[in-house]
């Protein structure tokens, strides 16, 4: 095993620790780690990411469920359109994507480049919410709302579920940075309950999307996937323990800047190198 591969597997633990420590963000690094450190094809990496993110989110979501911090009604309303969307995306859309998309000047945008650039853009979007402290903003909005009776904006929740599901299916990201604000704003959930519900939504749609990959005939290295996933899942417990010792919000902002830099580097690498 090379040094780069060792770093790649150590990164799996960092991904899990991040999920356990700040409730998200780490999964956004899964695809870059698989592609750039472990040399896996981007399309295959998005499939692996669905399983890794799904399993890790399930572990975290069950932990929140034990504390009574999951709203199952909201989760079902959001998850049904999301997992239909992610399943169809992995089963039908991703295998049908052409190898060559288009040209920008003399640069050919291939399927692999396109997927990584889209993923990098999502990384930058996720970093913005981390740096700006969207969790704090949402908590303030929740306090201003007071004892608001929960009500659903069904059309917007369904549309958001479809969009998040499609993005998850295309690039293999969990989409928690999109789901949590939607649950707070559209379903009026308290922040902690939104995080717990989001983790189970991410788990359901990611694992359903992975099933779409299996049915589409994608080759899966189960031994590698199991090792990486177990390492990431173990990291969640470490992160949960560290969350009692470290200020998660300060760490989240620093991690946001790291993700922003990584996303920018990815765009530069894919388009200009």
The tens digit of pLDDT for each residue in 149-172 reads 556 667 777 888 888 888 877 876
Specify the residue for token string 């990815």. 266
Read off the pLDDT band of 140 (50, 70, 90): very low
Task: State the total domains in the chain.
Answer: 1
pLDDT of residue 42: 84
Does the pLDDT of residue 230 top 70, yes or no? yes
The model's pLDDT over 177-225, given as tens digits with 9 standing for 90+, comes to 677 777 777 777 787 788 788 888 888 888 888 888 788 777 889 999 9
Q: List, as one string, the DSSP characters of 78-140.
A: HHHHHHHHHHHIIIIIHHHS-SEEEEETTEEEEHHHHHHHHHHHHHHHHHHHHHTTHHHHHHH
C-alpha–C-alpha distance, residues 9 and 232, integer Å: 9
* pTM, 2 dp: 0.75
Distances (CA, A) of 34 to 7, 192, 194, 239, 240: 11, 30, 29, 21, 24
The model's pLDDT over 29-53, given as tens digits with 9 standing for 90+, comes to 888 889 888 989 888 888 898 898 8
Question: Around Cβ 40, how many Cβ atoms within 10 Å?
Answer: 20
Give residue 219's region: left, alpha or beta (phi > 0; psi -120 to 50): beta
Tokens read off for 210:
């992975």
pLDDT of residue 146: 47
The model's pLDDT over 253-263, given as tens digits with 9 standing for 90+, comes to 777 788 888 88
Half-sphere exposure of 64 (CA within 13 A, CB side): 26
| Contact status, residue 45 vs residue 217, Cβ threshold 8 Å | no
The model's pLDDT over 82-128, given as tens digits with 9 standing for 90+, comes to 888 888 888 888 888 888 988 887 788 888 888 888 888 888 887 87
Does the pLDDT of residue 144 top 50, yes or no? no
Domain that holds residue 174: 3-272
pLDDT of residue 133: 63
């Amino acid at each position: 095993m090379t040094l780069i591969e060792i770093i790649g597997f150590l990164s799996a633990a960092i991904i899990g620790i991040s999920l356990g420590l700040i409730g998200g963000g780490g999964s956004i690094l899964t695809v870059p780690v698989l592609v750039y450190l472990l040399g896996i094809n981007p399309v295959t990496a998005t499939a692996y990411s669905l399983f890794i993110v799904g399993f890790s989110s399930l572990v975290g979501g069950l932990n929140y469920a034990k504390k009574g911090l999951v709203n199952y009604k909201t989760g079902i309303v959001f998850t049904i359109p999301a997992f239909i969307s992610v399943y169809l995306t992995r089963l039908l859309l991703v295998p049908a994507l052409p190898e060559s998309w288009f040209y920008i000047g003399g640069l050919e945008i291939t399927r692999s480049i396109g997927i990584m650039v889209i993923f990098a853009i999502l990384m930058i979007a996720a970093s913005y919410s981390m740096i700006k402290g969207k969790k704090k903003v949402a908590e303030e909005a929740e306090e201003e709302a007071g004892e608001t009776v929960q009500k659903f904006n069904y059309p917007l929740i369904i549309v958001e579920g479809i969009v998040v599901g499609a993005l998850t299916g295309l690039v293999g990201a969990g989409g928690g940075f999109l789901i949590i604000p939607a649950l707070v704003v559209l379903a009026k959930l308290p922040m902690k309950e939104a995080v717990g519900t989001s983790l189970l939504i991410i788990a359901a749609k990611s694992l359903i999307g992975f099933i779409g990959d299996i049915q589409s005939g994608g080759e899966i290295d189960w031994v590698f996937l199991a090792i990486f996933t177990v390492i990431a899942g173990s990291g969640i417990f470490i992160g949960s323990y560290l969350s009692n010792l470290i200020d998660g919000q300060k760490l989240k902002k620093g991690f946001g800047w790291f993700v922003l830099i990584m996303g920018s580097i990815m765009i530069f690498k894919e388009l200009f190198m």
